[in-house]
Every structure is written in structure tokens, then in C-alpha cells.
Amino acid sequence: MEQPRWLDSGEMAAWNAFLEASHRVSRRVERQLRDQQGLSHPQYEILVRLAEAPEREIRMTELAELLVTSKSGITYQVGKLESAGLVRRRSCSGDERGVFAVLTDEGMDKLRGAAPGHVEIVRSSLIDLLSPEQLDALGDALGTVARRLDPRD
Amino acid sequence: MEQPRWLDSGEMAAWNAFLEASHRVSRRVERQLRDQQGLSHPQYEILVRLAEAPEREIRMTELAELLVTSKSGITYQVGKLESAGLVRRRSCSGDERGVFAVLTDEGMDKLRGAAPGHVEIVRSSLIDLLSPEQLDALGDALGTVARRLDPRD
DNA sequence: AGTAATTTGTTCGAATTTGAACAAGTAAGG
DNA sequence: CCTTACTTGTTCAAATTCGAACAAATTACT
């Protein structure tokens, strides 16, 4: 039973800022997408990833890893997007288990329509609040965190 | 209809790192608390805030603001904590509508038991991954974000 | 005082998330 | 070949979240 290394005041401030900023930003982004586009943030992220992907398609499990969420969560959200006609499923030739989520033309249109409002809220919630130096440092620090937490979830 | 100011590659990298880091850290913290303490992260945060507060009590609405969550969410989580005996409710003299959540001795003990494991995961998920300079810059940037998003949610 | 506007906490239903369990398919090693 | 181990995506139940609606209480204003 070791003595825990408690956080000093600077570390505590960083941790609290991390939590508060995450929640505030996330609430704003989710609300904007919901109110103006009828999309959840995970749904929007799925559309973005698919639009960037070769053939506009990605395997279900890879989607879960990209969005840092559960496989069942992806099944649920892709199901929603499929009902809305924004995505379709395609079974994977060569691996009978596999399923690709594929962006439809409608999905691409939806994404194009949603992107400007999304960028705007991302700017007003994070990017434009910081000086270029601050933003740079933020990207560096969080990039390090994201990278180092990758394998051993 | 203005031309949106798209994100440049640095801004995009910062935004993606923000999203990925938030999700990864949050999942680790939640899993640790759930597995080792049977607490959700919101529940743990409620205990922390109460422990720091004068008289170890805070009004429901203020708790919602502190945790950046909905009032109904607080009702739900305080209800859970109350069932577990970690918190009790006290009606507010002077304002008949008001309700204080009060930390019980049991709740304080629970928090003391949970804190070391929590600090450990916070360190291994964020604090200890960064140099002192990086952490400082992170605190500065996210502190700015949190502060500037405060009023106009 | 008296009426309108605001605040407080809860309830409710709908949406979402998670992990465990599962069936089906694939890969690895003898 | 063949048995064992892993991978894939879905289903399911349980837990959680949110916002809208609400009743009760307080505040602001005339």
C-alpha cells in the first residue's frame, strides 16, 4: 500500500480544466448538431470518417476504434444512419463476418450541409478562444495524450 | 450565407486530439471507478465537491453547474448516492424549494477509499504523460476555454 | 398588496451507451 | 485435417443522459 502521489495545485487545475472544458465543449457541439441538423455527434463523426475514407466505406470495428467507442454503440448509430438513408451496409467479400458502413450520396449531402455550422461551433467553442500559441500547445499536449493511450485502452 | 472559415491542418489536429483525448481519458477514468469502487464518475465528482464545500453540502442546482450537467442528471445521481448512504438530502431553510445534498460520514469514508486509485488513473491517463511545460500549457489553454464558455453555455 | 416572471427540483419518456453473451466465421499450430 | 483460439458484428438488459413539462416557491415590479 503505497502513499499516493497527490496532485499539486497546478496539476489539479489542469485536471479540472480538462474536465470542465471537455464537458462544456461537448455539450455545445452536441446541442448545435442536434438542433440544427438532427444528428448526434457520434453520427456526425461517422459521416466525416466515411467521407474521408477510400471508397467512402469503413468496417464496423474500425469505426468503433476511430470514434473511441464500443462496437455495440457503432451498431446502434450506424443503424440510425441507415434508417435515415445516410449510410448503407455492405457485407465484406473475403471475410464473411465483416460489414462495411458505406456513405450514401444522401449522406454526403447531409454532411456538406452540416459541416459549416459544425465548424462554426467548433471555432466558437475552442479554436477561436485561444491564441495560435495556445492552440499549438494544446494540440501538442493532447496529441501526446491521445497517442500514448492508444494501445492499452 | 457566408463562406465558412474551415479549419487548417493545425486546427484540425488540435480538434481531433481534443476529441480523442477526451474520450480515451474519460473511458479509463470511468472504468477504474466502476470496477474498483462501484462509482460512476459523476458520482465521484459529487462526493469530491461536497467534501470540499462548507458544511459538506451543496444545493442541487449548484451541483449541476459545477459538474456541467443537467439538473435531472443530478437528481438521478444524488438519488443513487442517497440509496447507497453516501449522501443525504436536507431541505433548505429559508427557501422552501431548495434542497441540499449533504455528504455523510460514510460518503466521506467512501471518498477517502476511492481517492488514491482515482489519482493514480488520472496520473497515468493524463498528468504523467506530459512534461511539466506541456501540462502547464494544457492547463492554461483549457482553463481559458472553460472560463470563456462559462456564462453562455 | 397583487400579478407576472423567474427559479428550484422532480418526474417522465425517449434516446443513447455500455458490457456480457452469443453465433458465425477465420486463423494458427500441430 | 482439425481442434483451439481469436475476431466480427449483433442482440440484449441495465444504467444513464437529456430536455420538456410541471408544481411549488420566490422575486420583481407596479
For the segment B104-123, what is each residue's pLDDT rounded down to a tens digit?
A: 999 999 999 999 999 999 99
Distance CA A85, CA A90 (A): 14
Q: Encode pLDDT of B128-137 as tens digits.
A: 999 999 999 9
Q: At residue A94, does pLDDT exceed 90?
A: no
CB-CB neighbors (< 8 A) of B145 in chain A: 17, 21, 24-25, 125-126, 129-130
Domains and CATH numbers, chain B: 15-148 (1.10.10.10)
Q: At residue B93, does pLDDT exceed 90?
A: no
Q: Pick from A5, A129, A146: which is nearest to B17 by CB?
A: A146
What is the model's pLDDT at position B136?
Answer: 97
Distance CA A97, CA A46 (A): 21
CB count in 10 Å sphere of residue B17: 20
Q: Is the CB of A117 under 7 A from strand D?
A: no
What is the model's pLDDT at position B151?
Answer: 65
What's the mean pLDDT when you consider all of chain A?
Answer: 95
A96 pLDDT tier (thresholds 50, 70, 90): confident
What is the model's pLDDT at position B1?
Answer: 67
Q: At residue B153, does pLDDT exceed 60?
A: no
Q: At residue A152, does pLDDT exceed 70?
A: no
A151 pLDDT tier (thresholds 50, 70, 90): low
What is the model's pLDDT at position B130?
Answer: 97
Q: At residue A153, does pLDDT exceed 70?
A: no
Q: Encode pLDDT of B19-75 as tens digits.
A: 999 999 999 999 999 999 999 999 999 999 999 999 999 999 999 999 999 999 999
CB contact under 8 A, B129 and A143: no
Residue tagged 449533504 (cell numbers): B102
Q: Residues 52-91 of A near strand C (Cβ < 7 Å)?
A: 69-73, 76-77, 80
